[in-house]
Amino acid sequence: MNQTEIFKVKPSGRQLQWQKLEFYGFIHFGINTMLGMEWGEGHEDISVFNPSKLDAGEWVSVLKRAGMKAVILTCKHHDGFCLWPSRYTVHTVARTPWRDGKGDLVNDLSEACREQGMLFGVYLSPWDRTEQTYGEGRAYDDFYVHQLTELLTNYGKIGCVWLDGANGEGPSGKKQYYDWDRYYETIRRLQPECVISVCGPDIRWVGNEAGHTRQEEWSVVPKRLQDAEKIAEKSQQADDGGFSRSLNSMDEDLGSRAAMAAYEGEDWVWYPAEVNTSIRPGWFYHEEEDGQVRSGGELYDIYLNAVGGNATFLLNIPPNKEGEIVETDRKALADLGNRIARLEDVSLMQQATVTASSSADTAARLADIEDGICWKPAEADREPWVEIAFPKAVDMNSVILQEQIMEGQRVEGFELWCEVQGEWIKVAAGTIIGYKKIIRLSGTRADRLKIVFKEFRGFPTLARINIVNTAS
């Protein structure tokens, strides 16, 4: 695909709806929690699982107040312990003291999400260190698809299946090679609106688990990247020419014109990034980490860089052995939620007038909170701009821009200019916008602000503008 056509690549309906969530939670919980482990070895004594204070509704409330719009549960981690009473193994909550063996955490959390207007997603580890058929090829794939089917048919709408590529040897010493296509077919058939993340075709891993983001996060990337996380040992690839140009999720440049030139001839796909990290050093709860919880301020910085950098943000919140989200985590999440809310609550756009170099009627609607707006300049407008005028000078510290991504990702370079007492001053410059770009300004007071588009593919678009002063 050449550079003049790449902006024609667009998100699917399921990808668009998931990106609009922006921020959502991961809950790692299970036998690892009870034993203070990160990766269980399988066959653990599951009688230790008896969280006495677990309230799934409270989990959802805490995450919702933090600004999250969905929750993904580790229904089964690598140790093989199932948080629902699966018919296909005895290694489940049904064989524990919790609620006298009648508990079903997947049901509890999915119901709590529905009651509170949150989407529910599932993590089902392909690696199972307890299951005897692991490593036996088709026999294990049958087992895995049976469990996947249980999760996708018994718990209502599922918004996401989050898959990773962790892999090991089974009891026979054989390695299991996952039948990804069969897994995808099962998900698409049973939950057509569900996204498949990381080891899947819909949402990709940003490339690290520390919350770091790229300066340019392109949603349109080489199709080959969809297979990157399926390869358990990338270092074992033979250099036979087929992999002479390495491509993985950690590459810094995945979609610029330079990347397009390097991967000329590739198929390109819409494959947006997800930034995933934990509020603590570990993914499961460890009491000794109570003093190492990220602050609300640190989490907010990650949020601004991730959601404000054309990615989604998946934050892990691990409950403790009793099934509670502890107070330190709650305080940080409450602080984060308050900060996120101010991005909408203190908008300066209500009294502003929006004009543009062309297509002014559409530009005037960019301050509205509604779907479907698409400002784009007239075909002859080769130096497009959009201007926001305020009734009187205002203080601002954040400018939020959104492209209309149903027209593709097009903007490659832009500048922000402010008029201060009759003089225009450039206050910021950037490259990509994508679904959302949050530009942070320092102590800026202006009568007018202008967005000037310097580089773009075909033509630039905007779906929304918001200007805020969260310090007020």
Q: Over 90: is that where the pLDDT of 212 sits?
A: no
Size (the chain), residues? 472
439, β-bridge pairs = 399
Assigned CATH class of 353-468 = mainly beta
Percent of the residues in the chain that have a pLDDT greater than 70, as a whole number: 95
Of the pLDDT bands very low, low, confident and very high (cuts 50, 70, 90), residue 235 is very low
d(CA 122, CA 153): 12
pLDDT, mean of residues 432-441: 97
d(CA 337, CA 202): 27
Cα 472–chain centre separation: 29
In this predicted structure, what is the pLDDT of residue 115?
98
Q: What is the 3-state secondary structure (H, E, C) of the chain?
A: CCCCCHHHCCCCHHHHHHHHHCEEEEECCCHHHHHCCCCCCCCCCHHHCCCCCCCHHHHHHHHHHCCCCEEEEEEECCCCCECCCCCCCCCEHHHCCHHHHCCCHHHHHHHHHHHCCCEEEEEECCCCCCCCCCCCCHHHHHHHHHHHHHHHHCCCCCCEEEECCCCCECCCCCECCCCHHHHHHHHHHHCCCCEEEECCCCEEECCCCCCCCCCCCCCEEEHHHHHHHHCCCHHHCCCCCCCCCCCCCCCCCCCCHHHHHHCCCCCEEECCEEEEEECCCCCCCCHHHHHHCCCHHHHHHHHHHHCCECEEEEEECCCCCCCCCCHHHHHHHHHHHHHHHHHHHCECCCCCEEEECCCHHHHCCCCCCCCCCCECCCCCCCCCEEEEEEEEEEEEEEEEEECCHHHCCCEEEEEEEEEECCEEEEEEEECCCCCCEEEEEEEEEEEEEEEEEEEECCCCCECEEEEECCCC
Q: What's the mean per-residue pLDDT of the chain?
A: 93
6-345 folds as TIM Barrel (3.20.20)
Of the pLDDT bands very low, low, confident and very high (cuts 50, 70, 90), residue 302 is very high
Q: Over 90: is that where the pLDDT of 260 sits?
A: no
Cα 22–chain centre separation: 7
d(CA 317, CA 113): 15
CA atoms within 13 A on the CB side of 303: 26
pLDDT, mean of residues 343-368: 92
In this predicted structure, what is the pLDDT of residue 262?
87
Of the pLDDT bands very low, low, confident and very high (cuts 50, 70, 90), residue 310 is very high
Per-domain boundaries in the chain: 6-345, 353-468
In this predicted structure, what is the pLDDT of residue 265?
77
What pLDDT digit, counting tens, does each position of 333-351 carry?
999 999 999 998 889 998 8
Specify the range with the lowest mean pLDDT, choosing from 3-17, 220-234, 376-390: 220-234
d(CA 44, CA 34): 10
Q: Over 70: is that where the pLDDT of 215 sits?
A: yes
Backbone dihedral angles phi then psi of residue 270, each to the nearest 5 degrees: -80, 115
| Fold agreement (6-345, 353-468) | no
